[in-house]
Structure 1
């Protein structure tokens, strides 16, 4: 497989997108070499981000030669929160979509993206303009106005806060409060799947599995949460890791991180842990985040009935 490479920007200009290219042969030696481009898609929302995520994925699906590396930033309502996000975007430039009704924050997003030479699009603004023109009245511009402030709404917000606080192995003593705990080696979609589940009101924690490092003691003693292991093919994980590492410092050793033999050992370690603890395993190789979440939720009634 050819090494991945980053197309260099001659200068910052929105007409010259930052794309990660990857070429590989599929099947036998006579197969045609397929080249895919990867780009960063930053999604900034002052609410849960469901509307934005759906719009971004619907647009990205129209480009079969390019795949989006999604960066989701929900509940962004302050300049301090936004400043950190803009730093992340500057480090990994790409397309920026946002649903932020606060015009001051929206202006900061547009100005920053313009300075970076990348596009920014307010997904709701054209719709609001059409409504305003037709109804003859301006929008109230309330963040999350589409959400009814009922018990279900607050349950979802609580779940999202919990999930973000328990991402990547954080706060292991509180694991018993989770509804679902996802475990897996690096790049098995733990974080995006956790956030998707949280948007449905499910408190989700995720814990990375690292070869040779013992599991948190709290994980081995949980009673209430459903623990699910996520795996993928070594080829897919290697591919994602290679593209993820593009743009890191040239001197950084990433060979072992992206080596398929090492990844296969990591996967064997993950499977062994799940088998020993009788935790179900889901292969995410050919699943979207939504499909992975649906498979996880399908396990809950069975697990509960077995208790």
Structure 2
């Protein structure tokens, strides 16, 4: 078994991706360990000292800083560990062609700035409040998606979160009162999602088929029940004066684009 260390002076995404590409050619024979934020000689020493030289080990590095990169190579050679810096040749060639020195910025490819952390925060927000009974997130959301079950609320929230938009979804069910918090935010921050009833019936029936032994009296895919739900949802949407989007046969990306333009 070979242990492949993905070493980086940033988060290590690139190094791990390369390591996984290598490991994919040797199924079941490679273990991958990500080692992020190796930024100093001390970090290198601590990492190297943990490696068991009696086992097969290899280092794939994306370290940018020259002194740390060279020290890592030196320590690997001393301990008989194979090491490859996958960014070195490409950066060196680009430097020659451009006749320009690289800036050697760790993690530059991931742009670890406010936008990055904003996306992470939005993802955590979407996960925490997904179909939640905790309505405190409504007032903190950039956008609130409302609609009946199976109108793509959750995947839309996750897509928007990846754009740095804090989205929360609120399922509309006739038997469950709408939280007052919904009426305490501007209608422009609310998006109503609707769908053709015939399409929704097919979607729900298909979903029910996945659950064998479900009570035949279950109303989830009942035609009349679905019409009642859509009617109830329409009344709530009109009351909030929100933008209503028909998601029938519409791709998630298309719906998200409409939402992003709406909330600017």
Distance in 1, Cα, partners of 2:241 & 2:200: 24
Aligned residue pair count:
174
Q: Secondary structure at the match of 2:170?
A: strand
Segments of 5+ residues of structure 2 without an aligned counterpart are: 1-12, 29-59, 61-82, 88-106
Q: How does 1:15-54 map onto structure 2 within 5 Å?
A: none
Match of 1:237 in 2: 200
Q: Per residue, is there more helix in 1 or in 2?
A: 2
Distance in 2, Cα, partners of 1:176 & 1:139: 46
Change over 3 Å in CA distance of 1:101–1:228 after alignment to 2: farther
Q: How does 1:257-272 map onto structure 2 within 5 Å?
A: 257-272=220-235
Q: CA deviation at 1:287?
A: 1.0
Match of 1:45 in 2: none
- Taking structure 2 as the reference length, what is the TM-score of the superposition? 0.58
Match of 2:219 in 1: 256
Match of 1:215 in 2: 178
Distance in 1, Cα, partners of 2:207 & 2:129: 22
Q: CA deviation at 1:101?
A: 7.3
Q: CA deviation at 1:171?
A: 2.4
Change over 3 Å in CA distance of 1:251–1:160 after alignment to 2: closer
Change over 3 Å in CA distance of 1:240–1:146 after alignment to 2: farther
Match of 1:157 in 2: 120
Q: CA deviation at 1:139?
A: 5.2
CA deviation string 1:192-212 (max 9, x = no partner): 011000000000000100013
Distance in 1, Cα, partners of 2:240 & 2:200: 24
Match of 2:262 in 1: 299
Q: Which has the larger radius of gyration?
A: 2
Q: Once superposed, what is the RMSD of the aligned Cα atoms?
A: 3.1
Distance in 1, Cα, partners of 2:18 & 2:173: 41
- Taking structure 1 as the reference length, what is the TM-score of the superposition? 0.50
Segments of 5+ residues of structure 1 without an aligned counterpart are: 1-76, 78-98, 112-128, 130-135, 302-307
Distance in 1, Cα, partners of 2:216 & 2:109: 47
Q: CA deviation at 1:261?
A: 2.3
Change over 3 Å in CA distance of 1:179–1:250 after alignment to 2: same
Change over 3 Å in CA distance of 1:248–1:290 after alignment to 2: same
Pairing partner for 1:273 from 236, 242, 250: 236
Q: CA deviation at 1:297?
A: 1.6
Q: CA deviation at 1:250?
A: 0.9
